[in-house]
A and B are shown apart, each in its own frame.
Chain A
Amino acid sequence: MDLTFTPAEEEFRSELRSWLSAHIPQEWTRPGFWESLDDDESFRLRRDWERDKADAGFAGIQWPIEYGGRGGTPGMKAIYDEETVRAHAPRTVNPLGLAFLAPTVMAIGTEAQKKEIIGPLLRNEVIWCQGFSEPGAGSDLAALSTKGIRDGDDFVVNGQKVWTTNAVHGDKIFTMVRTEAGSAKHRGISMLLIDMDQPGVTARPLRQMSGASEFGEVFFDDARVPAVDCLGEIGDGWRTAMLLLSFERGASGISQYTEFRRQYDEIVAVARTLGRDTDPVIRNELARVLTELECLRLHSMHVLTQVEQGRDLGFEASMTKLQWSETFQDLWEVYDQILGADATLDTLPDGTDLRPLHAQAMWSRSVTIWGGSSQVQRTITAERVLGLPR
């Protein structure tokens, strides 16, 4: 057991910490600041800030320098995740590209793809969307019907995607397309990297229950994509997708812990304001959730250890997704319990603005659906980890 980081990693921490404190305006850290902006304004501020961050050398911490990264260790990446959340850094504008596409390209992309995709992605010159879900294929991803028909060196793509994060701000989309006519389920699918800035692609925002429009719908109407822009082998897109999803599900527990723990403290403050902090039932409920949050922290240390040892977490990533998403949702259910009769009010009698907290409570309803619903993760865990029969 050794829970410390190396001296080089700690040096990186202090370097990052001073850059963050100098480059995040005080105003941005005010509760509710980001919710007060419209989607376009929020996106623009975050995009510019992140470009500056990349210029300062704090992008792609683990990616090789030759592809525009920092060339750091998994430990540095964990420190980056922790410190950015601690400093109230704005959420990334390119989450899908950074967390899922980049590691997949590094693992199975061609040399040309690595060069073309990683650098511009890190500098946010190209914002990526993920085109997996369709109106008829959400959790049953293999039921997709978007088609790609070979035409010379290109595929011509027709179909529709939905629940696409950043649909209206996206420059490119990595998408699952059925490229073998008549193929069924997991066969004959390819992962195509499609330029969204072309006549055949239309994106439309979808308003969420929180009021924001972070995701949308994308329509392909004879959109064209060169066949060389296939990630992984043509027709082998299912395997590419599973690799990519394992990065999504294994996403950094350390940053989530840091963020959720802060939210726990905010919720405790609300309980105190309402005089509910001495209620033994509320105390019991908060302690129950805190137990799970601490387990998430320890689990992320376990995951980091595995990664540093060069082990592939594979289907174990489903456990990480279940732990963080269910705990996060649970935390906000306890928040509702604390508010009681005031559950839906915008402000408390003492003037406390509850809207930023409500936004999190609403968001918590989505996390057990996207990235593979909790039900899908449980089935994966039961069959692939525990070996129960299909």
Chain B
Amino acid sequence: MYFALTDTQREFDRAVRDYLAQRFDLAAVREVVESADESGGSEGSGDSDGAAGAERSAGSGGNPASLWAAAGEQGWLAVTVPEEYDGLGLGLVEAQVIARALGAGVAPGPWRGTVLAAEAIRLAGSDTQRATWLPRLAAGEVVGAFASRGSAADGLPAVEYGATADVVVAPAEDGVPGLVLITGASATPVGSYDGTTRLAGLTGGSAEVLPGATVEVARELADRATVLVAADLVGIAREALSRTVGYDREREQFGVPVGSFQAIKHALADLHVGVTMAEHAALYASYAVQEGLDGADLAVAVAKAKANDVALQATAAMIQYHGGIGYTWEHEAHFFYKRARRLAGQWGDLTVARERIAALTM
């Protein structure tokens, strides 16, 4: 029995986290959040002083170029792409490791959409489609997106990085199985208070069928997407909790650190248990899907339900247990809270995830 990340997977995790801490910290995230690029911001304007080496991202569709380049160079985008297509040939467990780290860093950028588009092409594409897209997606030369709602026929609302994406995977028609690859769609930016991610509605473009997209494959892709979103939420939750614990150890009120008050201690202890359980659940779900284990569907629903729950609790607690400062624009708590709110609704909100659990166990 070995239920844990391997040493190699842990090193991978550390590498992503180290990169984000050194090269794309919260000051850099703030620059992306505050850049108003959907109205055509000016590229490269001004210089970066606070953000540890990050460049201005205005005009890049909320997709910071240096971070995207790093994602390509360090293999974050190539993670699940087979080696024959210049990928790393790793699994959903490793992808989950990256997703969690990106969540912890509330990092912007179309990583998940690119990885999922590649997964769709890998699992359902023709040989030509694989050869055309996989090496370029793996290298970060093209950006991918994976639509969670709508259809190619009727339009795709609020696609993550829909305006940046070169290729979009989407359901062909509402209610009918089948996935298509869309290129050249027209994008309309969609406003969202989660400034760490850019969204766009998509219409038109040319659609090409993914020949292997059966109901089962579409279900599996949805499971993979769900796991990666759950992992992002788990990363958010752990980081929100750690930052709050760190703050409450030091912050004094009534002459003592607020973290010495039992009301706060017990709430944070419960969150620690909850976040730890969500970490187990996301890890297991990624493994169960990767290996095609019995009960993988239940594992995915459990991971999403638990991740939703703890991410909303931990990020709300982050605001509450920072006191007034946690409610300000200047503090980073809102990045975590807003991203958690958005992702909790993606690929199965709490009600949807729980109904799936009920259907599978009752």
Contacts and interface: CB of A to CB of B under 8 A. Distances in A.
Do A and B pair up? The answer is yes
A334 B276 CA distance: 24
Given A268-B362, A287-B361, A386-B268, A298 B280 contact: yes
A75 B354 contact: no
A305 B6 CA distance: 12
Interface residues of B, number: 45
Contacts of A1: 2-6, 93, 283, 287
A297 to B, nearest CB: 9
B176 interface: no
A369 to B, nearest CB: 16
Which of A272, A301, A375, A388 has the most CB atoms of chain B within a 10 A radius of its CB?
Answer: A388
B257 to A, nearest CB: 5
A390 B354 contact: no
B3 A298 contact: yes
Contacts of B268: 382, 386, 388
A198 interface: no
Nearest to B295: A294
Contact of A389 (B3, B260, B277, B283): B260
Given A298-B284, A301-B3, A319-B272, A388 B265 contact: yes
A167 interface: no
Given A294-B302, A319-B272, A389-B256, A379 B265 contact: yes
Nearest to B284: A298
Contact of A2 (B2, B264, B276, B355): B2
A387 B281 CA distance: 25
A382 B6 CA distance: 28
B354 A304 contact: no
Given A5-B1, A78-B1, A302-B4, A375 B277 contact: no
Contacts of B265: 378-379, 382-383, 388
Contacts of B351: 284
Contacts of B248: 388
Interface string B325-362: 00000000000000000000000000101110110011
B266 interface: yes
A362 interface: no
B269 A387 contact: no
A93 B96 CA distance: 44
Given A284-B354, A286-B362, A388 B260 contact: yes
Interface in A255-306: 264, 268, 271-272, 277, 280, 283-284, 286-288, 290-292, 294-296, 298-299, 301-302, 304-305
A322 interface: yes
Interface string B17-39: 00000000000000000000000
Given A1-B93, A264-B361, A298-B281, A288 B249 contact: no
B269 A386 contact: yes
Which of A264, A271, A295, A308 has the most CB atoms of chain B within a 10 A radius of its CB?
Answer: A295
B230 to A, nearest CB: 12
Which of A3, A271, A294, A375 has the most CB atoms of chain B within a 10 A radius of its CB?
Answer: A294
A381 B273 contact: yes
Nearest to B246: A387
A304 B3 CA distance: 8
Given A294-B281, A305-B3, 11 more contacts: A1-B6, A280-B355, A287-B357, A287-B361, A291-B306, A298-B3, A299-B276, A302-B280, A386-B269, A389-B256, A390-B260
22 contacts: A3-B287, A264-B361, A283-B354, A283-B358, A283-B362, A284-B351, A287-B353, A287-B354, A287-B358, A288-B305, A291-B302, A291-B305, A295-B277, A298-B284, A305-B4, A375-B266, A382-B265, A382-B268, A386-B245, A386-B272, A388-B245, A389-B260
Interface of A: 1-5, 75, 78, 264, 268, 271-272, 277, 280, 283-284, 286-288, 290-292, 294-296, 298-299, 301-302, 304-305, 308, 319, 322-323, 375, 377-379, 381-383, 385-390
